[in-house]
Structure 1
Amino acid sequence: MAPMQLIPGGNRNALNKSMGKDGQREWSFGLCSACGDCGTCCMAWWCPCIVYGKNRQRLDYLQTRGVPRPDGGETFNSHCMLDCLLGCVGIGWVLNIGTRSDVRARYRIRGSVCGDCCVAYWCVPCDLVQEHRELELEERSFGVGSRV
């Protein structure tokens, strides 16, 4: 029997979504299920740069350390500032494409870069909340809840 290989991170499919033959699954929450997390939904509509920055920080921390960020992510960080600056000229959504693709890759979620681009462009708040909730599921599998 081969030794079990450790994969850093928590449960990347906490809701036990079925995996397809391609080894991928659907998102844990639908794109329009933002109301399932009212606080994050409101923040994503009024201050998307904050939610983007925290999502990016949380994802990067999980990717590099294999555990959730203890403080849930800083409210104002370099990712947030960059998103805010690009948002002022109407292209903040471009950053969301990369983060959405990275979240999909981490959790083996079905989709494409073209789809990521469309979601990021047409509905930034829904995109941000969906990513937030996916990250939160893994963080909770460690016994840690995230904060907005």
Structure 2
Amino acid sequence: MKQHPTMGIPVGEPVHAPQFAPLNQSAVVGEFSTGLCDCFSDVSLCCLTCWCPCITFGRIAEIVDKGSSSCGTSGAIYSLIMAFTGCQWIYSCTYRSKMKAQYGMPENSCGDCCTHFWCEACSLCQEYRELQHRGYDLALGWHGNMERQNQGMAVPPSMPSGMTR
């Protein structure tokens, strides 16, 4: 193998360009389908989250909890924590972890907490978009989504009761 006389690097060998991560992180299995800073891909969601994050969070929580908590209850708890402590990001971070566990996304508790602490609105928008990407209409809530899903299923005909001829 020859070397360049002044630089000492191999000459005549193929040069391989460094491999960079793809810009579209949805290509990575188990990651979010949209980026953290893709907030303006849905301007109405961005505005809602900016002015009323409790609504966005409540909708996310209802879907992640599979209807065991309501949008209103979760949103009210979020608002109270925000009003009295300013630490609502801790509460919302727990739902990010729940959602990631449900969908088999890699867990990163420290990273998730930092994401919610430094960019709460972007985090909520990303989670909302992820649930939309997975087929949920968050405005309908859990039960509305289940009804919508069941409408496509055929209902068996009812049978008359008793013996008749």
Would the TM-score normalized by the shorter structure come out above 0.5? yes
Identify unmatched segments of 5+ residues in structure 1: 1-15, 20-24, 65-72
Deviations 1:31-78 (A, max 9, x none): 00011111111111111111111100012127x7xxxxxxxx74xx11
Is it true that 1:98 corresponds to 2:94 in the alignment?
Answer: yes
Higher Cα Rg: structure 1 or 2?
Answer: 2
Number of aligned residue pairs = 114
Structure 2, unpaired ranges of 5+ = 1-25, 141-165
Q: Equivalents in 2 of 1:78, 1:111: separation in Å?
A: 26
* 2:130 aligned residue: 134
- 1:86 aligned residue: 81
| Structure 1 segment 39-78 matched on structure 2, within 5 A | 39-61=44-66, 74=71, 77-78=72-73
Q: Percent identity?
A: 32
1:108 aligns with: 104
CA distance in 2, matches of 1:119, 1:18: 19
- Aligned counterpart, 2:146: none
Q: Give the equivalent residue in structure 2 for 1:67.
A: none
When normalised by structure 2's length, the TM-score is 0.62
Q: CA deviation at 1:30?
A: 0.5
8 A Cα contact 2:55 2:75, kept in partner: yes
Say which SS state the counterpart of residue 26 (structure 1) adopts: coil
Q: Is the 8 A contact 1:45 1:125 kept in 2?
A: yes
Note if contact 1:139-1:146 (Cα within 8 Å) is conserved in structure 2: no
Calculate the TM-score normalised by the size of structure 1.
0.68
Match of 2:120 among 111, 118, 124: 124
1:111 is displaced (CA, Å) by: 4.0
